[in-house]
Amino acid sequence: MNTGTNGREHWATRTGFILAASGSAIGLGNIWRFPYMTGEHGGAAFIVIYLIAVCLIGYPLLVNETIIGRVSQRNPVGAFKTLAPGSPWWLVGALGVFTGFVILSYYAVVAGWSLAYIFKVITVSQGAGIDNAEVFSRHISNIWQPIGWQALFMILTIAVISAGVVKGIQRCVTILMPIFFVLLVLLILRAVTLPGAGEGIAYYLKPDFSEVTGRTLLGAVSQAFFSLSLGMGVFITYGSYLHEKDEIPKSSGAIVGLDTVVALLAGFAIFPAVFALGFEPGAGPGLVFITLPAVFAQMPFGTFFGLLFFFLLSIAALTSALSLLEVVTAWLIDERGWHRKKASVVMGVTIFLVGLPASLGYSVFNCFSLPFFEIDLLDTYDLLANSILLPLGGLLTAIFVGYVWGTEKAIKEASKGSTGFTIGKWWAVLIRYVVPIIIAAIMVTGILDSLGR
Ligand code: TRP
């Protein structure tokens, strides 16, 4: 087994970490959320703001978390305990573990829809005159089907995590990530070669700054958090499986770059096809499950490409879910001395149960949605995580390193093993001032905004 001097399991290779971490980052957020956010928020104008958010907040925070993980060689709770013994800072780690729990509970519901659609797209695209909005709403308002797929998705996730860091996570991402990239390229080639694709590309890339509001900024920053898996200790946990000789600044750059490129490319797989076949791009969250199946239904070889698309989406979701369950599992292993198998199974099953209301929110619990007072449980989970828990986690982690543990120690730790590019004073400025100020401002606006609605 690949254990270091401290008995902890470590990534078997440098690419193991990069693949696992980009597998975590690249997920539903890139393929399902990023394109519709871009569609709703002014196309390329949103992309520009997103890129700025990634550079000013995303990269610095990703490095920040990874440093905490590697230096402490612990899960998020243990990491804060190690770096600030006897203080209440471990609560930030606990917040992260809790957040991971919440996110995975509803993430598995959407991932389950994706698995179901691998098969559904085959049937859907064969019949003419099928209303895809109807098909989708019938699927999610069914009680047992979505739960069955959600359960299957959780079983897959548990199976990988229970096998360990190298034999489970690393082995899985080494197989799946290359498949993911091949599928993505195939789908893009199909989309951009359809007659009329140019209009979709123009729509996607034409900046419309008139659509940019405070909401857009909020949307861009929370999208960066979600897409990069920041603010809840994924990178503390994955960083804790790094060796001293691994280069944090460079690997982090590769991860941020891959995640961003995949988000941008997802738009090229989707918008040209949507426009070429005469559909509306602004469908919001329904873009992937309602508009796309209709697009595939009319495309030459559409059934095949539809199947590929939902397979791609499911792979992306699985490699992200691994990181969410790993955070919770690592906490129980390190802090409570549980065995990996027991920790992953008990937590995986509990998370599945907690996610049930989010799934049943479209069937059994649909009665909460009165005409003037609509509660979408899945959206509520998502809102809680994205607008509050993740930014709060990121903010506190930045403050911890910026003002408590110290950016000097952090820079020194990051430079270990670095042969070329490393972080310096500029990073300290971002972590101490830029990141906290932007996150605090965004959280306040976001909360005021949702109260005012
Ligand atoms: N980044 C993943 C996506 O884009 C989701 C995800 C995985 C995540 N782990 C996370 C989001 C931790 C926030 C925090 O789909």
Q: Would you state the pLDDT for residue 133? A: 79
How sure is the predictor about 241, in pLDDT bands with cuts at 50, 70 and 90? very high
Is the CB of 323 inside a 6 Å radius of any atom of ligand 1?
Answer: yes
Is the CB of 25 inside a 6 Å radius of any atom of ligand 1?
Answer: yes
Specify the residue with its C-alpha closest to ligand 1, atom 14: 229
Exposure string (b/e) for 241-252, b if CB count within 10 Å is 16 or more? Answer: bbeeebbbbbbb
Q: At what angle do helices 214-227 and 435-452 cross, to 10 degrees?
A: 120
How sure is the predictor about 106, in pLDDT bands with cuts at 50, 70 and 90? very high
Q: Which atom of ligand 1 is nearest to the CA of 28?
A: 15
Is the CB of 387 inside a 6 Å radius of any atom of ligand 1?
Answer: no
pLDDT, the chain, mean: 90
Residue 85, helix vs strand vs coil: coil
| 36 CA to centre of ligand 1 in angstroms | 17
Is the CB of 251 inside a 6 Å radius of any atom of ligand 1?
Answer: no
Q: Kindly report, residue by residue over 33-50, the tens digit of the pLDDT.
A: 898 888 888 888 999 999
pTM of the model: 0.94
Specify the residue with its C-alpha closest to ligand 1, atom 15: 27
Q: Which atom of ligand 1 is nearest to the CA of 316?
A: 15
Mean pLDDT calculated for residue range 235-242: 98
- Asked if 67 and 413 count as a contact pair (C-beta separation under 8 A), the reply is yes
Specify the residue with its C-alpha closest to ligand 1, atom 10: 229
Q: Which amino acid is present at 416?
A: K
Q: Spell out the domains of the chain, with CATH numbers in brackets.
A: 14-451 (1.10.4160)
How sure is the predictor about 447, in pLDDT bands with cuts at 50, 70 and 90? confident
How sure is the predictor about 371, in pLDDT bands with cuts at 50, 70 and 90? very low
Determine the Cα–Cα distance for residues 207 and 43; give it in Å rounded to an integer.
6
How sure is the predictor about 282, in pLDDT bands with cuts at 50, 70 and 90? low
Mean pLDDT calculated for residue range 4-18: 87
Pocket test for ligand 1, best of 31, 234, 315 (most atoms within 8 A of CB): 234
| 227 CA to centre of ligand 1 in angstroms | 6
Determine the Cα–Cα distance for residues 208 and 92; give it in Å rounded to an integer.
39
In sequence order, the 6+-apart residues with CB closer than 8 A to the CB of 68 are 79, 80, 83, 236, 239, 397, 401
